[in-house]
Chains A and B, each alone.
Chain A
Amino acid sequence: MATAQRFLIVDDFSTMRRIVRNLLKESGYADADEAEDGVAALAKLRNGRFDFVVTDINMPNMNGFELLAAIKGDEKLKHLPVLMVTAEARKEDIVTAAQGGAAGYIVKPFTKAILEDKVGNILKKMGLQE
């Protein structure tokens, strides 16, 4: 289902950013931009309009947990849903993400169906998609 949501994909590996971007496009979410770490992501979020953040955790400069905390601590950004897509599979990390306000958590490697399902559910919960 095509929507007008604008996504920001944050990952230090360009390969993974392309994969996520293509999967979102195939799922009907064609409007997306990319950032290679938390610092670049925050700069883009503060200077542009975005509706959804998909982020890795293990990144240089500012990792995904730090980015999540920065987003949730920013009055203008805290409404944004943040979906963590990461290789970090420790329960402790999942709990940390949930308590930090993440909207979802996907462990790599994942499938198109999983990404589509999580993004769709988050948008539905937010009333941004039927």
Chain B
Amino acid sequence: MTALHPDLIAQAVESGAAGGGSAPVDVHTKIGQLTRQLHDSLNALGYAEQLRSSVGEIPDAKSRLTYIARLTGEAAEKVLNRVDQAKAQHDYIASETRRMVGDLVKDPVAAVAKGTIMNFLEDVERSTQEADVHLTEIMMAQDFHDLTGQVIAKVVGLAATIEAQLVELLIQTAPPGSATPQTAAAAAAAAAAAVAATAIAETPALASTPTPRLQGPVVDPENAVDVVTSQSEVDDLLASLGF
């Protein structure tokens, strides 16, 4: 197994401390050598490619997190707007009700004869219909939970992969005979696994390994290939297939 040896680090530090004026150059050289050795070790162990692959997914993870931020923001905005409208209607009906009570107490016959009562009842009916529309929209806004849940599952999966690779790397590059880093790494991995297990148990989309072939929500439709971006495109595609 190729591993970084702590003696190299110690040598670099010692020569830097004892080297007087040339110390910065020596340390620089030693660090360069260490970097090269780390690079060679990663390649030899096969981790370079794995890490490169994971790092390559980070921009996608950023897109996914941006998508989550956008969807949750839009949902909150939609709900607050609908609540504002519903409350305004509610205030109107409450105010009209108080006015109707006043009219009825003052002159019930006139209130009916002038059509005031009928107008009020029509207002109430219209308002309840509109309130129902607001409530439906508020309910529909909650679909972000499903969509973002699927996306979060993918980001958590990537984070877990990177963490596992880094922990494995730490174990593999620990000094020979040194149990402490491996123990610490194993403990860190166990702790991370416990936290992940709790999160996974509470989120349906995380509770199983998603089918790799399935992609989940399209987080960046402008740069996605061979995806539909609206229901009308779905319908067109199905129509072209004879459905």
> Is B a genuine binding partner of A?
yes
Kindly list 13 other residue pairs between chains A and B, CB separation below 8 angstroms, not including A19-B140, A89-B221, A112-B136.
A13-B205, A22-B139, A58-B150, A58-B214, A89-B215, A90-B215, A92-B226, A93-B214, A104-B238, A105-B238, A108-B146, A108-B147, A108-B217
Q: Among the listed B136, B147, B216, B243, which residue makes an inter-chain contact with A98, where contact means beta carbons less than 8 Å apart?
A: B243
A107 interface hit (Cβ, 8 Å): yes
Q: Which DSSP category, helix, strand, loop or mixed, fits chain A's interface?
A: mixed
- 9 closest A-B pairs by CB: A60-B208, A87-B217, A12-B204, A13-B146, A16-B146, A15-B145, A89-B227, A58-B214, A89-B218
A119 interface hit (Cβ, 8 Å): no
Task: Decide: A26 near B231, CB < 8 A? Known: A11-B146, A60-B204.
Answer: no
Q: Among the listed A22, A95, A110, which residue makes an inter-chain contact with B231, where contact means beta carbons less than 8 Å apart?
A: A110
Q: Among the listed A16, A90, A105, A108, which residue makes an inter-chain contact with B227, where contact means beta carbons less than 8 Å apart?
A: A90
Q: List 18 A-B contacts (CB under 8 A).
A: A12-B205, A13-B146, A14-B204, A19-B139, A19-B142, A36-B204, A58-B216, A87-B218, A88-B215, A89-B217, A90-B226, A94-B238, A95-B237, A95-B241, A106-B231, A108-B147, A108-B217, A109-B140
Are B214 and A63 in contact, with the CB atoms below 8 A? yes
Q: Determine the chain B residues whose CB is within 8 A of the CB of A112 once the complex forms.
A: 136, 140
Interface residues of A in 81-130 (CB under 8 A from B): 87-95, 98-99, 104-112, 114
Are A13 and B237 in contact, with the CB atoms below 8 A? no
Closest to A56 in B: B146
Q: Determine the chain A residues whose CB is within 8 A of the CB of B145 once the complex forms.
A: 13, 15-16
Q: Among the listed B216, B229, B237, which residue makes an inter-chain contact with A87, where contact means beta carbons less than 8 Å apart?
A: B216
Task: Categorize the interface residue count of chain B.
Answer: 35 or more
Return B58 CB to nearest CB of chain A, in Å.
22
What does the 1/0 interface line of B119-144 toward A look like (CB < 8 Å)? 00000000000000000100110111
Size of chain A's interface in residues, with CB distance under 8 A?
Answer: 38
Residues of B whose CB lies within 8 Å of any CB of A are 136, 139-140, 142-147, 149-150, 204-205, 207-208, 210-211, 214-218, 221, 224, 226-231, 234, 237-238, 241, 243
Q: Determine the chain B residues whose CB is within 8 A of the CB of A68 once the complex forms.
A: none
Are B143 and A98 in contact, with the CB atoms below 8 A? no
A71 interface hit (Cβ, 8 Å): no
Q: Determine the chain B residues whose CB is within 8 A of the CB of A60 once the complex forms.
A: 204, 207-208
A45 interface hit (Cβ, 8 Å): no
